[in-house]
Amino acid sequence: MNKKSAIYVRVSTSHQIDKDSLPLQRKDLINYSKLILGIDNYVVFEDAGYSGKNTDRPAFKDMFNRIKEGEFSHLLVWKIDRISRNLLDFCSMYDELKKYNCTFISKNEQFDTSSAMGEAMLKIILVFAELERKLTGERVAATMLDRATKGLWNGAPIPLGYKWDKIIKFPVIDDEERLTVELIYNKYIETESTSAVVKYLNQHNIRTKRDGNWSTKTVGDILRNPFYKGTYRYNFRESARGKKKKENEWIVLDNNHDPIIALDLWTKCNNILDENAKKNSARFRAKSKTHIFAGLLECGECHKSFYSKSDKTSLDGYTPSIYTCSSRYNHLGCNQKTISDTIIGNFTLNFISNMIKLSKTYKKLSPEDIEKNLLSGSSFNDVKGIIEIDDIFNSFYNTSSKIFKPNKQETKPANIDLNKLDADLKKQHRALERLENLYLYDEKEMSEKDYILKKNIINTKIKEIDAKIKSSATISTSTYNINFFLNTATLELSKEIIEGNINMKSLIQRVGRDIIKEFVNSLITKITVRDRKVISIQFTNGLISTFIYEV
């Protein structure tokens, strides 16, 4: 193999970037490759502003993928800790390097792994590099704990109602913002509901500290925060949004600073929160009304989830569930109307029923015939077609003319993978939103370079997940497995589904909501609705059906 160097350079902070650390490393290593190793063919990989505690870095990943393809004979770094300060990460990486016959060289430590001594020195140095990192972390943590016990600020975001004072180096009351905090506490005492407080704040265009809309989470955080009663609490969680630590590890200083909320008002609000939390426990919810499509609905307008509640009971005793877009409910600009489980159920269950009826047809059908069969019945009078009909047709006749060929083994992993991908995608979108908020509104400024780098990483992950979802949504013969649709249904419900012409109201009265909900949740991961119509159904086995309506 012709010799070719992969030159890797990294710095941890924007300060180091500004001090020309990257250009220095780059120039030094290029000269080393040319003059010492005699290798003029090289590629430089740069990670600016990334920590060495793990290998989750874009340029590093790109470089390592190319090493695995056999492109490089040497990996050259300025210092060993430019690659990793984590012993396990490095050992794993080094084993991979040996597998692909790539020699590792650290210019500053003056060794290369083509010799046994160089390899031994490498491992010894890395052990001490990781030890130094851990000791530094412990020293920093101890210093911050000591500062907290003295009532000194350790750099968290400033709470609403306070502003930073450069002289005393601690938050002081902001006379304008304090009015919002006082309003939140007083409104909560009046309504005993975080949702009611959120609705009031958003209706009156009162913004959060970061100029955003309110949610029950942000209101709840303010009501729970002891900082507003003058108590400074530190070392409460493992990370900003991590698990709570044991109470004996907390640092709590009462009467540490000027409060916005009186102690008795803060205590009353938190007692109400505690009582409401008990009512909302799983045991209490189990006794509440079952809403069949709760947790499955997405707004086709703003892509937010739906809230569910019971509608008025009719004269015959039937009480439908109705669903409202959470964005509309919280007055965040969405104008979508409520929709009942009768509309959703008639459409969704009759569509499943038509699939099962179609499974009994053994003659070859055209895409038009399949679409016509799937959309037969009064529930689909205004539906013009299905976007994925060609995929449906191809899946029917891909490997066999026998429709709904049973294959339980293929369905199960698709179910697991798609759910995980869906969760990962939502997680990345939330991360992107948090990053943008951090860049735009946080007290501690983030540099534009850091913002762009981190945004690109998240966008890359989103694209990768999107590609996997599209790939896993490719429909195979097993997608339309009749067993998939009936495995989890009770005998009585199975008969209703097979017979078709389902009336949701009658079905609920005969079978019960709990059985239907269990059946629906075993089949469906998401139903998108808009203008009181079902726009698409995403099944747990990978099938997605998107409906085209008459204009």
* Cα separation, 526 vs 546, whole angstroms: 12
DSSP-based three-state secondary structure for 548: strand
- Which residue is it, tokens 């995608």? 425
pLDDT over 80 (residue 59): yes
How confident is the model over 458-478, as a mean pLDDT? 65
Closest C-alpha among 426, 455, 148, 449 to residue 304? 426
Least confident of 52-61, 123-132, 257-266: 123-132
- Which percentage of the chain shows pLDDT scores above 90? 31
Is the pLDDT score of 482 beyond 70?
no
Length of the chain: 551
Report the share of the chain in percent with pLDDT over 70.
Answer: 78
Q: What residues pair up with 307 in beta bridges, in sequence order? A: 324
From CA 301, how far away is CA 528, in angstroms rounded? Answer: 9
| Amino acid (1-letter code) at residue 18 | D
Tell me the pLDDT of the chain averaged across its residues.
Answer: 80
CB contact at 8 A, 486 and 494? yes
> What is the Cα–Cα distance from 96 to 114, expressed in whole angstroms?
14
Between 139 and 33, the more confident residue is: 33
Report pLDDT digits (tens) over 311-363: 888 776 778 899 999 888 888 888 999 999 999 999 999 998 888 787 666 56
For the chain, the helix, strand and coil percentages under 3-state DSSP, each to the nearest 5: 50, 15, 35
Query: What is the rounded distance in angstroms from the CA atom of residue 39 to the CA atom of residue 28?
Result: 14
Amino acid at 178: R
141, 238 Cβ separation under 8 angstroms: no
Of the candidates 162, 199, 193, 192, the one whose C-alpha atom is nearest the C-alpha of residue 179 is: 162
Residue 476 has a pLDDT of 38
Domain 5-144 classification at class level: alpha beta
- The whole-number pLDDT of residue 395 equals 63
Give yes or no for residue 283 having a pLDDT over 50: no
Model confidence at 88: pLDDT above 80: no
SS3 label, residue 104: strand
Give the position of tokens 């409910």: 329
Q: How far lies 222's CA from each of 244, 273, 465, in Å? A: 17, 12, 35
Model pLDDT, residue 333: 83
What's the rounded Cα separation, in Å, for the pair 67 and 292? 52
CB 410 within 8 A of CB 476: yes
In tens, the pLDDT along 395-436 reads 666 533 333 333 344 444 444 456 677 778 888 888 887 777
pLDDT of residue 460: 85
Say what the pLDDT of residue 6 is. 95
What pLDDT was estimated at residue 232? 92
Residue 169: Cβ within 10 Å count: 9
**Bridge partner residues of 106 (DSSP):** 77, 111
Question: What pLDDT score was predicted for residue 72?
Answer: 94
Span 168-190, pLDDT tens digits: 999 999 999 999 999 999 999 99
Using the predicted structure, report yes or no on whether residue 485 has a pLDDT greater than 90.
no
Residue 398: strand, helix, or coil: coil
How far is C-alpha 290 from the geometric centre of its chain's CA atoms?
27
Name the residue ranges covered by the structural domains of the chain.
5-144, 171-282, 342-549
Query: Stretch 83-87: mean pLDDT, rounded?
Result: 67
78 SS3 class: coil
Q: Give the tokens for residue 215.
A: 């949610």
Pairing relation of β-strands 533-539 and 524-530?
antiparallel
171-282 topology per CATH: Hect, E3 ligase catalytic domain fold (3.90.1750)
Q: What torsion do the CA atoms of 238, 243, 244, 249 make, to the nearest 10 degrees? A: -30
Residue range 355-404, pLDDT digits in tens = 878 766 656 778 888 888 889 889 899 999 999 888 777 766 653 333 33
- pLDDT over 50 at 288, yes or no: no
| Backbone phi and psi for residue 529, each to the nearest 5 degrees, phi listed first | -125, 150
**Cβ contact 222:181 at 8 Å:** yes
The secondary structure of residue 315, as a DSSP letter, is T
Catalytic residue, chosen from 12, 21, 33, 84, is 12
- Please report which confidence band the pLDDT of residue 522 belongs to, taking 50, 70 and 90 as the band edges: confident
How far apart CA 61 and CA 83 sit, in angstroms, is 11
Provide long-range contacts, Cβ within 8 A and 24+ apart, for 86-94.
86/52, 86/53, 86/54, 86/55, 86/130, 87/126, 87/127, 87/130, 89/54, 89/55, 90/126, 91/123, 91/126, 93/55, 93/64, 94/122
The alpha carbon of residue 342 and the mean position of all alpha carbons in its chain are separated, in whole angstroms, by 31
pLDDT at 499: 79
The SS3 call for residue 535 is strand
Lowest mean pLDDT among 161-165, 208-212, 293-297: 208-212
CA distances 269 to 177, 221, 230, 418, Å, are 19, 12, 16, 41
Residue 49 region, left (φ>0) first, then alpha (ψ -120 to 50), else beta?
Answer: left
Q: Is 12 a catalytic residue?
A: yes
Strands in 442-543 per DSSP E: 524-530, 533-539
Render pLDDT for 223-240 as a digit per residue (tens, 0 to 9). 999 999 999 998 877 766
With vertex at residue 491, the alpha carbon angle to CA 488 and CA 492, rounded to the nearest 5 degrees, is 115
CA angle 202, 207, 210 (to 5 degrees): 140
